Chain A
């Protein structure tokens, strides 16, 4: 058993692509080995900005010999069939075995040296590697067929045991030599085997294990902050990114001018994170403090003083810009900013953003004045909606689109608008993701609902509906936002009709599945039709689900299915039904129906769904007894017709609550 080391060295691989590249390398390596009849076993895969490395432990020296048997044509088949088979197998007729009139070819494949397999696998892996974006480079790129890689590939190390695996890709021959840290150890270093690879690199200022580098960034940044009496704002995305940008990460704490803290903390954090890949820190009061942690890629001669000074300057310039935007934007009121929305197209068939804003304002005002959003001042709802999109034309949101809403909220407060308006502007995009909060303050709810409903209604009106994986206007997310806002706030109204209502039903099923609500039960209620109040719909579905979990529920369902089957098979009922119940069992079911039917429909009408279920439950014993005691298809047509009538009434009563035919089980 022998270990194998592969290193593919290149110019800097984008940090965001490294995890995918590790997975791709593993996938391709396993596929290559398995095609040769080798099991790759335990793999270690590492990445740095300048290399991908793979170590396969305990590979056999050679693949096992295999004997392959191929079934050929019958010996009586026309000669062309035999010729074809001989061509395919590369054998002559006397090498075939004739078994009961059928030719068989037995091909013995001897084992191959693993090194040989690897020598073929490496170029195949490199050529077959799928990068999100790849490029050509150098002299070879004069031809269209030249090798593509994420950035220029500069070297290959391939060692099986202590032997070189000789191979070449596009003029790059595998060898023992790699390079250490770009600045600390720029020369060549020679690797002996998989076992000394990581340590030799470490001696040359390269930590090849990305998880180790991540730990250094994570812990080092936290420590740098703690040493200054500050708390790091943890950010795992930044940890991974900084580890993907460095071979020798050194977290360093810097400070920026406290005066910048007048800019909203979200802006500072975003500037630091997105533009500079810095962590931010909190002070003892839990508020953002004037510090940052950057991650250098060297052990600087001066301990990092110059690096920190340089980074501080860059951050200061960024924060100056942010402060400039912050001040500049406040020279106009939101209402003045909003005037510019008339110049921005929302969608070519749906007018400008200003047009949309007016629709949303009207709808928000209506939601408030109708009391659909309770305790909501219609005038405030309208004003908030009119200003909600104004920040889209501010400098700050132009620079940081992800701050939309948030900045509008800050600017609204700064110009002295009521908190209800500022909060509504800030929160009206919510809920953005699955884990995001739903707005609960009345004005925010009105604007959030109106904005999303307008988007949905408008795009459905011009027939721009999501199809398959395509949802360019994020309508699924908008519908989900509406559903959550309605259901979590218990808001009642006819949310939509037609296609859009069906779309809501689909989204509701997806959304409720996670909450453990059965989609078939949603269908069972939804197909009854006429239900456009999602809160009522869900209450009914939940009562139904609770009922279906009881013994009464499952038995009633069984009874229902039996009844429905009989009715289906009966087809058109001929003959006149008997005027009175033919037996006691018939009479008992009739009596039960006479009580349960009106009770269930009254309960449904008054939205007492649990009671509606209880009314249905009262039918369970009589229906069971009915099936037990009588034969529906009585030879007497009048009796049969009577009983079919009873069953139709029974299924009808059940349908008054939910369409049980949609329920699975």
Chain B
């Protein structure tokens, strides 16, 4: 089995390989639960040398906002991590009534810097690990260039299709915060709910098996965990959130970000950039940002993100150049 062959520990007899084999075999028989899919991906990427991080403890719109991606994709140091990131997109809320759309969902994020030569093969191995057979399902790499105007970032890559459904965004980062990525990092962003719906063959996200029944303990569905959240947060995002305090919060975060940059604590500054970005998203959901203002707010968030990236580079570059002679920005 290809998975076992690539095991970092080699030999195919270690407990990780064992566990994989069991999981992949089980995945072929009964589709993985949502949590088992995550656990499988953790095992898979851990065996390829990734540090398994935990979600960042702030409200963000995508896994890319985690400083482990944004800031760490800058500079010469190798960086291999994987993590789940809860992602909030207030405008996508549908009060729990749409089978595909959520204001809060999960992304599985893998960053490999520098991008390995066999990144595509490694990625396809991960799909096999969670039970997708590439000779039964049509897996395709379809052009999709990624750009994040609020992060001042872009890269080239694909959206990966499985039977016509986008399951992963696959990107070679070229720039972050307006700075060249040297070396380039490969980024994989799996849409976990979509992938799980596909694997479990369910049409409604709330019907996903989150966990399986064990003994007397019943299985838990995605709806058991999140349906009420979607209802309440959709209402808050669209109807309740106090726009005055959101505006004030945006200003405060902007000011604090700039203070932190000035004080040379870029990680703290970046937190405030994330905060401003999320408050902007909430203001959009509240429908109080006009079309004209929108571009202006996005530019302000971008300035914060770029400023934080620059401060991060400034704070690290001495160390980087000492460790990697010849490296330049």
| A135 pairs with B291, CB closer than 8 A | no
Q: Which residue of chain B has the shortest Cβ distance to A345 in the bound complex?
A: B292
Report B108-154 residues with CB < 8 Å from chain A CB. 114-117, 120, 124, 133-143, 145
| A154 pairs with B164, CB closer than 8 A | no
From A246, A310, A343, B198 is in contact (CB under 8 Å) with A310
Does B210 have its Cβ within 8 Å of any Cβ on chain A?
no
| B182 pairs with A306, CB closer than 8 A | no
Q: How far is the CA of A266 from the CA of B156 in the complex (A)?
A: 31
Would you give the shortest CB distance from B194 to chain A, in whole angstroms? 10
Interface of B (DSSP majority class): loop
- Report if A152-B198 is in contact (Cβ < 8 Å); known contacts: A14-B143, A138-B184: no
What are 30 A-B pairs with beta-carbon distances under 8 A? A12-B141, A14-B143, A15-B143, A49-B141, A135-B174, A136-B184, A137-B172, A138-B117, A141-B114, A142-B114, A152-B115, A152-B117, A184-B135, A245-B142, A278-B164, A297-B138, A298-B138, A300-B136, A302-B136, A306-B136, A306-B137, A309-B163, A310-B164, A310-B165, A310-B198, A314-B163, A317-B99, A320-B99, A343-B290, A345-B291
- Report if A306-B183 is in contact (Cβ < 8 Å); known contacts: A136-B174, A137-B115, A296-B138: no
| A142 pairs with B136, CB closer than 8 A | no
A-B interface, 4 closest residue pairs, ranked by CB to CB distance from nearest? A310-B163, A14-B143, A12-B141, A311-B164
Q: How far is the CA of A596 from the CA of B293 in the complex (A)?
A: 68
Complex interface: chain A residues within 8 A of B177 (CB) = none
Q: How far is the CA of A493 from the CA of B142 in the complex (A)?
A: 52
Q: How far is the CA of A136 from the CA of B154 in the complex (A)?
A: 12
Complex interface: chain B residues within 8 A of A345 (CB) = 291-292
A135-156 vs B, CB cutoff 8 Å, 1 = contact: the mask equals: 1111111111000001110100
Query: Chain B interface: which size bin?
Result: 35 or more
Does B180 have its Cβ within 8 Å of any Cβ on chain A?
yes
Would you give the shortest CB distance from A577 to chain B, in whole angstroms? 71
Complex interface: chain A residues within 8 A of B172 (CB) = 135-137, 151-152
Q: How far is the CA of A320 from the CA of B203 in the complex (A)?
A: 12
A344-360 vs B, CB cutoff 8 Å, 1 = contact: the mask equals: 11000000000000000
Report A169-209 residues with CB < 8 Å from chain B CB. 182-184
| B156 pairs with A141, CB closer than 8 A | no
Q: Which residue of chain B has the shortest Cβ distance to A252 in the bound complex?
A: B138
B positions within 8 Å CB-CB of A? 76, 98-100, 114-117, 120, 124, 133-143, 145, 155-158, 162-165, 172, 174, 180-184, 186, 198, 203, 290-292, 324, 327-328
Q: Which residue of chain A has the shortest Cβ distance to B155 in the bound complex?
A: A135
- Report if A297-B140 is in contact (Cβ < 8 Å); known contacts: A141-B114, A345-B292: yes
- Report if A11-B174 is in contact (Cβ < 8 Å); known contacts: A294-B164, A301-B136: no
Complex interface: chain B residues within 8 A of A16 (CB) = 143
| A144 pairs with B180, CB closer than 8 A | yes
| A183 pairs with B135, CB closer than 8 A | yes
Does A164 have its Cβ within 8 Å of any Cβ on chain B?
no
Does A470 have its Cβ within 8 Å of any Cβ on chain B?
no
Complex interface: chain B residues within 8 A of A301 (CB) = 133, 135-136
Does A109 have its Cβ within 8 Å of any Cβ on chain B?
no
Does A603 have its Cβ within 8 Å of any Cβ on chain B?
no
Q: How far is the CA of A49 from the CA of B145 in the complex (A)?
A: 16
Complex interface: chain A residues within 8 A of B290 (CB) = 343
Would you give the shortest CB distance from B102 to chain A, in whole angstroms? 14
| A144 pairs with B183, CB closer than 8 A | no
Complex interface: chain B residues within 8 A of A154 (CB) = 117
Q: Which residue of chain B has the shortest Cβ distance to A340 in the bound complex?
A: B291
Q: Which residue of chain B has the shortest Cβ distance to A186 in the bound complex?
A: B121
Would you give the shortest CB distance from A362 to chain B, in whole angstroms? 25
Query: Chain A interface: which size bin?
Result: 35 or more
| B163 pairs with A141, CB closer than 8 A | no
| A11 pairs with B138, CB closer than 8 A | no
Complex interface: chain A residues within 8 A of B117 (CB) = 138, 152, 154
Contacts A138-B115, A311-B163 aside, 11 further interface pairs with beta carbons under 8 A come to A135-B174, A140-B183, A141-B115, A142-B183, A151-B157, A245-B142, A296-B138, A297-B138, A300-B138, A310-B164, A324-B98
Complex interface: chain B residues within 8 A of A333 (CB) = none
Looking at A49, A134, A135, the one whose CB has the most chain B CB atoms below 10 A away is A135
Complex interface: chain A residues within 8 A of B292 (CB) = 345
From B138, B145, B174, B328, A307 is in contact (CB under 8 Å) with B138
| B134 pairs with A142, CB closer than 8 A | no
Would you give the shortest CB distance from A65 to chain B, in whole angstroms? 43
Q: Which residue of chain B has the shortest Cβ distance to A150 in the bound complex?
A: B156
Q: How far is the CA of A516 from the CA of B139 in the complex (A)?
A: 52
| B184 pairs with A307, CB closer than 8 A | no
Q: How far is the CA of A151 from the CA of B143 in the complex (A)?
A: 10
Does A133 have its Cβ within 8 Å of any Cβ on chain B?
yes
Q: How far is the CA of A119 from the CA of B138 in the complex (A)?
A: 38
Q: How far is the CA of A154 from the CA of B163 in the complex (A)?
A: 26
| A314 pairs with B164, CB closer than 8 A | yes
From A15, A183, A315, A344, B134 is in contact (CB under 8 Å) with A183
Complex interface: chain B residues within 8 A of A313 (CB) = 163, 165, 203
Complex interface: chain A residues within 8 A of B162 (CB) = 310
Q: How far is the CA of A245 from the CA of B165 in the complex (A)?
A: 15
Complex interface: chain B residues within 8 A of A184 (CB) = 135
Would you give the shortest CB distance from A300 to chain B, in whole angstroms? 6
| A276 pairs with B164, CB closer than 8 A | yes
Complex interface: chain B residues within 8 A of A300 (CB) = 135-138
Would you give the shortest CB distance from A294 to chain B, in whole angstroms? 6
Looking at B156, B182, B203, the one whose CB has the most chain A CB atoms below 10 A away is B156
| B76 pairs with A142, CB closer than 8 A | yes
Report A8-27 residues with CB < 8 Å from chain B CB. 11-12, 14-16
Would you give the shortest CB distance from A521 to chain B, in whole angstroms? 47
From A141, A182, A276, A343, B291 is in contact (CB under 8 Å) with A343
Q: How far is the CA of A309 from the CA of B156 in the complex (A)?
A: 30
Q: Which residue of chain A has the shortest Cβ distance to B328 in the bound complex?
A: A144
From B115, B140, B186, A245 is in contact (CB under 8 Å) with B140
Would you give the shortest CB distance from A10 to chain B, in whole angstroms? 11
Q: How far is the CA of A302 from the CA of B290 in the complex (A)?
A: 52
From A278, A298, A314, A315, B135 is in contact (CB under 8 Å) with A298
Looking at B136, B174, B181, the one whose CB has the most chain A CB atoms below 10 A away is B136
Q: How far is the CA of A313 from the CA of B184 in the complex (A)?
A: 36
Complex interface: chain B residues within 8 A of A133 (CB) = 145, 156
Q: How far is the CA of A223 from the CA of B122 in the complex (A)?
A: 37
| B156 pairs with A298, CB closer than 8 A | no
Would you give the shortest CB distance from A259 to chain B, in whole angstroms? 15
Would you give the shortest CB distance from B324 to chain A, in whole angstroms? 7
Complex interface: chain B residues within 8 A of A246 (CB) = 140
| A139 pairs with B183, CB closer than 8 A | yes
Would you give the shortest CB distance from A131 to chain B, in whole angstroms? 10
From B116, B182, B198, A144 is in contact (CB under 8 Å) with B182
| B141 pairs with A183, CB closer than 8 A | no
Q: How far is the CA of A142 from the CA of B77 in the complex (A)?
A: 10
Complex interface: chain B residues within 8 A of A182 (CB) = 124, 134
From A136, A151, A315, B164 is in contact (CB under 8 Å) with A315
| A142 pairs with B327, CB closer than 8 A | yes
| B327 pairs with A314, CB closer than 8 A | no
From A11, A140, A298, A309, B120 is in contact (CB under 8 Å) with A11
Would you give the shortest CB distance from B9 to chain A, in whole angstroms? 23
